[in-house]
Amino acid sequence: MWIKVMIKRTLFFGNPAYLNTRSEQLVVNFPDKDKTEVSIPIEDLGYIVLEDPQITITNGLLMKLVQNKTAVITCDKQHLPCSFLQPLVGHSEQTERIRHQLNASLPLKKNLWQQTINSKISNQAVHLAKIGKNALKLKRWATEVKSGDSQNHEAIAAAYYFQNLFDIEGFSRNQKGIAPNNLLNYGYAILRAVTARALVSSGMLPSVGIFHHNKYNAFCLADDIMEPYRIYVDAMVCSITKTSSDYKELSSDLKSLLLQIPAIDVVIDGKKSPLMVAMSRTTNSLYECFLGTGRKILYPEYE
């Protein structure tokens, strides 16, 4: 039996525009009267990125987007995603699901974090090997991750991984560091929104993590669950640096490439599917672990 999976669209608005709704459509008008009105079915939309500060959006449209579980992402003055609009009710069983999430035992959360870091480091190892770098240490560290990652293999592996990922003198992973940190920041922000959207749709709170617990972070669980998926951003950015020397500035073309992240194909549970669909499988499997009917989080395997 074949099941058709609908790939939700990602829209990016980098210029002034007026966004409203009519007949279940997102309607776009522009200050430039020579540009014609554009309409897109709201049901087709998964993500909307609002970058220009002169974008106007109606409350009626926001309501319909939220009801459609469309992620509305706004950007700051540095053009980086800074906020994410999510529905108050993302699942019909939300109260019950949140209760199971909040009641998760410490041993369970430590086990889930162990699975998460094992998957993340394993994916990093495959990626390094794929681009011709030595990945033996990463492969070993992946097998040594203990409950709760008590020996902090994540940080050890990340330091080695980023030291070897780019052939760029002076590069280190730092949000305010030299390029391509700018591309990584943007890609990770999009991935964070994808993860948060999937968690809300699965009836869980993105703010209550299994490992991350910063009281100032409203997306602790999203930051946990996105870890093994970071590799797809890394791979895209790595490819950009090898095929272009013009990546110091986050251009519209580069943003367009990175905004394809939700739709790229990944392999999860032996099957290929778009990343946004795979993320929903991951968050659903996480809930099954909280419920007690499952013991394993489904994470993608990088190829």
What residues form the annotated binding site for Mn(2+)?
154, 212, 227
Sequence-distant contacts of 1-6: CB under 8 A, at least 24 apart = 5/273, 5/274, 5/277, 6/44
User: Among 8, 60, 19, 1, which Cα is nearest to 197's?
Assistant: 8
Residue the block writes with tokens 């003198």? 169
What are the structure tokens assigned to 261, written together? 């992240």
- Cα separation, 20 vs 61, in Å, equals 5
Token digits for 285?
A: 């499997």
Q: DSSP string covering 93-157, please? A: THHHHHHHHHT--HHHHHHHHHHHHHHHHHHHHHHHHHTT---HHHHHHHHT--GGGTT-HHHHH
Pairing mode of beta strands 56-57, 265-268:
unpaired
3-state secondary structure of 22: strand
Q: Residue 270, by phi and psi: left (phi above 0), alpha (psi -120 to 50) or beta?
A: left
Contact 131, 235 (CB under 8 A): no
Partners of 254 in beta bridges: none
What residues are designated binding site?
Answer: 154, 212, 227
Tell me how far apart the alpha carbons of residues 174 and 79 are, in angstroms, rounded to a whole number: 17
CA-based nearest residue to 12, from 261, 263, 256: 256
Find the angle CA(193)-CA(255)-CA(9) to the nearest 5 degrees.
55
